[in-house]
Amino acid sequence: MAESVVRPISALAQELAEGKTTSRKLIEAALARIADAGGEGGRAFIKVHAQAALLAAEASDRLRKDGVVPSPLAGLPVSIKDLFDIAGEVTTAGSKILRDAAPADADAVAVARLRSAGAVVIGRSNMTEFAFSGVGLNPHYGTPANPYDRRARRIPGGSSSGAAVSVADGMAAFALGTDTGGSARIPAALCGIAGFKPTQSRIPRDGTFPLSTTLDSIGPLAPTVACCVTVFQVLAGERPHALTPPEFPGLRLGVPKNTMLEDLDAEVTRAFEATLQRFSRRGAKILEIEVPEFDEVAKANSSGGISPPEAYAVHRGWIDREREFDPRVRERILKGGSILAADYIELLRIRARLMRSFTRANYDIDVLVMPTVPRIAPPIDDLERDPEIFRRVNALMLRNTNPINFLDGCALSLPIHVPRDARVGLMVVGFAGDDERVLSAGLALEAATAYQGPILVG
């Protein structure tokens, strides 16, 4: 079968504008990939909206002929993580427990904004049950395999597992995901695409099933940083507009000397160091700096963290339905039931203090850079078979990404691996409210990497 690169939103939008393709053709191609018996569509999606998507595509094509093109996303297929309400459907959050819940009365705000922009919802993407893991396993609906080394069937990363695979495999032009401790950035990094976690307040969470109301954020997963910019602006309720990448000479990139660079796989080390050298040759200043807030976050979370007690508050009404739970998820939720209210309140107080101290005033840099995930994706079988391996890998998956949510920063993951090698992500981190700065820097950094986009087979 032929190989090609997954096309970015700008290329698809241009082809639509020039009449070289139609929304109907794009949706048909995406549906064919989902239905391919040899592919991952059956595991990447919990529900496929084939008929509704085709009708929406035809409507988009008619509007385009009349000169109505609401945004660059018009006519493009988007996968929606199963945490988001879609009017008339049950939001199951990757679980069997909610399958008999009442259908949603309305679309989640994020879904409604994508529809208003003309995007075509192609289906609900699979995910870790209740979004509580950075690995991506789901025993109820299957676990979609990472696009890298399909024979070994490696983890996709979580919790937005189906979202990342849907984009990397050409089943959607982009995906709507969430990020509580890395759930958009981790699968983006492991699957070789881009993913963005904004400052929490930038995108409304109305109509989104919660994991941790304190830490939950909504963000896009897409082929490139530029794609993430376009989708983020729509989700944030803004008209799409160009961001200006900074010039490399004088760009100050901070590399934290904390645990972020410890215990890296050799592939991650090689890709990260080669990328920093490339940036340096272009004139960027690479500055090793201490970020004490990262160490303090790790210390604060050692007693359990914010997510478990907040998740327990959501799920305690059905926590006794043990046989219907993924045991790995239930174990993490149950830990939240033993955390004292006083300890939880103290943790929120510590978070508020660290958020105040984690500001641009303390660091003479433009952005922080580090590996998104310290390891490449391991095989699914190992983690399904051994709970202890799962716990260890899950902790490593979340190690670098989780502190950013705790500090309410914003962060972008962009691919830096050599094509056809194991997928490796570079995390570009900014402070609260620095979303445009991070995305602009990401555009410049992405252009300087050797990566050309995810390879699509078929």
The residues carrying an active-site annotation are: 81, 159, 183
Alpha carbon distance 218, 312 (integer Å): 21
Alpha carbon distance 372, 184 (integer Å): 11
The closest alpha carbon to 372, from 400, 395, 411, 393, belongs to: 400
Phi, psi dihedrals of residue 234, rounded to the nearest 5°: -65, -45
* CB 427 within 8 Å of CB 440: no
Helices (H) and strands (E) in the chain, counts: 17, 13
DSSP for 126-181, please give it: P-SGGG--SS---TTT--PPPSSSGGG-B---SSSHHHHHHHHTTS-SEEEEEESS
Q: Is there a cis peptide before residue 159, judged by omega within 30 degrees of 0?
A: yes
Alpha carbon distance 122, 171 (integer Å): 9
Instruction: Give the tokens for residue 216.
Output: 């939950």
Buried b (16+ CB within 10 A) or exposed e, 372-391: bbbbbbbbbeebbeeeeebe
DSSP summary character for residue 372: S
Alpha carbon distance 148, 58 (integer Å): 34
Alpha carbon distance 266, 104 (integer Å): 46
Query: 103: left (phi > 0), else alpha (psi -120 to 50), else beta?
Result: beta
Alpha carbon distance 262, 258 (integer Å): 8
Instruction: Give the tokens for residue 14.
Output: 């241009």
* CB 183 within 8 Å of CB 83: no
* CA dist list (Å): 52 to 24, 85, 197, 444: 11, 16, 29, 38
* Amino acid identity for residue 76 in this structure: L
* CB 445 within 8 Å of CB 372: no
The closest alpha carbon to 136, from 90, 191, 214, 195, belongs to: 191
* Amino acid identity for residue 87 in this structure: A
